[in-house]
């Protein structure tokens, strides 16, 4: 059953892990690729981490990305 | 459970015996075309990574090919889920399992989980509580796609998760281990690539194609052939229909009824098998909706 529990924990924590681990660098690299400037003079990766983590927390809290 | 040989044992009566005799002509063939399709598609998808990362293939083309690869990834595994390539204890069993696992890689979908939940789908097709694919139900294709998307959200308690949790299948624990490994592999590759400076590439080669592929598969392989996903029963849970985009675009799902009646008939033989037993099936009262559009 440990795999069932691990899988459930992974799913529960999934949105936050996804937000920090994948969305943050994706947002940062998209900002750079589009030639945009992150607000408040933030480095793009810091902006990505803020937005990615917030989206992940929101999805975790709401139980949904959409 | 209406799977393969079990199905043949269920049939009774002259009509069914005649139907079974026709079906027998299409059983027990190793579908080598599906082996080539499954392994070739997986290799194509794997090759996209070095080609795109090395700048040989433009990312937009890599994305299109990865999406096509994800769409094409399910059906070879589906043949393996029914042990059509090699049954347990036979010479080609290892190949059956290899195709089953490898072809689902572009979809980042665990084979054993698909195997167990798909058998539940066959056993309880369209049942509101017991069919794990019931989350694809919808009045329109757009509604179905949205419901399927909603069902995949982390807090929704997906029907597949419930099915595997409640399953008494002897390979349930193995399915859970494989699901865990697949999730870790998918997430590990995405994050490793992303933090190495390839987030957009990882997104367009795996994450987005996986989701687009799942939408296509849920619509064409689940929603359309079972629409409106209400009726149950051997001849009523699946319809014969005409895909407005053609048989190839539907990936042969116009004849999905034959698969539900005789799951061990290879995909490429289902149109031939349907034509051979069409009269018998019409007499049984199948849902012939070829003149209607979904």
Number of domains making up chain A: 1
Q: Where are the domains of chain B?
A: 1-26+232-294, 31-230
* Chain segment B77-126, per-residue pLDDT in tens: 999 999 999 999 999 999 999 999 999 999 999 999 999 999 999 999 99
Which two three-digit tokens encode residue A46?
A: 């810091």
The ipTM is: 0.89
User: Which residues have a Cβ under 8 Å from the Cβ of A3 and sit 6 or more positions away?
Assistant: B173, B176, B177, B179, B180
Helix axes B208-217, B141-151, angle to 10 degrees: 130
Region class of B131: left (phi > 0), else alpha (psi between -120 and 50), else beta: beta
Helix (H, G, I), strand (E, B) or coil at B288: strand
* Chain segment B175-191, per-residue pLDDT in tens: 989 988 999 999 999 99
Q: What is the mean pLDDT of residues B19-31?
A: 94
Residues of B with CB under 8 A from a CB of A: 149-150, 153-156, 161, 165, 173, 176-177, 179-180, 183-184, 187, 190-191, 194-195, 197, 199-200, 202-203, 207
Highest mean pLDDT among A8-17, B29-38, B161-170, B285-294: B29-38
Helix (H, G, I), strand (E, B) or coil at B289: strand
**Whether B179 contacts B113, CB under 8 Å:** yes
Domain range enclosing A6: 2-62
Residue showing tokens 């995949």: B152
CA distances from B53 to B80, B188, B212 (A): 32, 17, 22
**Closest residue in chain B to residue A21, using alpha carbons only:** B191
Which residues sit opposite B241 in a β-bridge? B289
Please give the Cα distance from B146 to B137 (Å, whole number): 10
Q: In 10 A of CB B22, how many CB atoms?
A: 18
Helix (H, G, I), strand (E, B) or coil at B54: coil
Out of B156, B194, B197, the one facing A63 most closely (by C-beta) is B156
């Amino acid at each position: 059953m440990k795999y069932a529990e691990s899988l459930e924990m992974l799913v529960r924590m999934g949105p936050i892990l996804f937000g920090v681990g994948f969305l943050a660098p994706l947002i940062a690299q998209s900002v750079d690729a589009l030639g945009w400037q992150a607000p408040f003079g933030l480095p793009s990766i810091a902006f990505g981490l803020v937005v990615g983590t917030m989206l992940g927390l929101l999805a975790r809290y709401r139980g949904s990305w959409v | 459970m209406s799977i393969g040989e079990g199905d043949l044992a269920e049939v009774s009566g002259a009509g069914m015996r005649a139907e079974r005799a026709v079906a027998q002509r299409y059983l027990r063939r190793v579908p080598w075309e599906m082996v080539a399709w499954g392994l070739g598609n997986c290799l194509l998808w794997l090759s996209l990574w070095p080609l795109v990362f090395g700048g040989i293939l433009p990312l937009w083309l890599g994305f299109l090919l990865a999406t096509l690869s994800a769409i094409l990834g399910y059906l070879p595994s589906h043949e393996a889920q029914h042990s059509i390539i090699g049954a347990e204890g036979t010479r080609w069993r290892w190949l059956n399992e290899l195709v089953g696992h490898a072809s689902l890689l572009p979809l980042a979908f665990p084979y054993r989980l698909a195997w167990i939940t798909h058998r539940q789908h066959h056993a309880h097709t369209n049942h509101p509580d017991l069919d794990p694919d019931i989350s694809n139900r919808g009045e329109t294709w757009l509604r179905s796609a949205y419901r399927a998307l909603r069902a995949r959200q982390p807090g929704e308690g997906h029907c597949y998760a419930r099915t595997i949790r409640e399953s008494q299948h002897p390979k349930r624990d193995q399915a859970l281990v494989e699901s865990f490994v697949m999730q870790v592999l998918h997430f590990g590759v995405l994050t490793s690539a992303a933090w190495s400076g390839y987030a957009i590439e990882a997104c367009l080669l795996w994450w987005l194609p996986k989701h687009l592929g799942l939408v296509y598969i849920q619509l064409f392989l689940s929603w359309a052939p079972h629409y409106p996903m209400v009726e149950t029963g051997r001849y009523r849970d699946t319809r014969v229909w005409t895909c407005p985009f053609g048989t190839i675009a539907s990936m042969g799902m116009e004849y999905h009824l034959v698969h539900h009646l005789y799951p061990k008939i290879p995909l490429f033989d289902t149109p031939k098998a349907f034509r051979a037993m069409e009269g018998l099936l019409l007499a049984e009262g199948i849902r012939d909706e070829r003149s209607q559009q979904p």
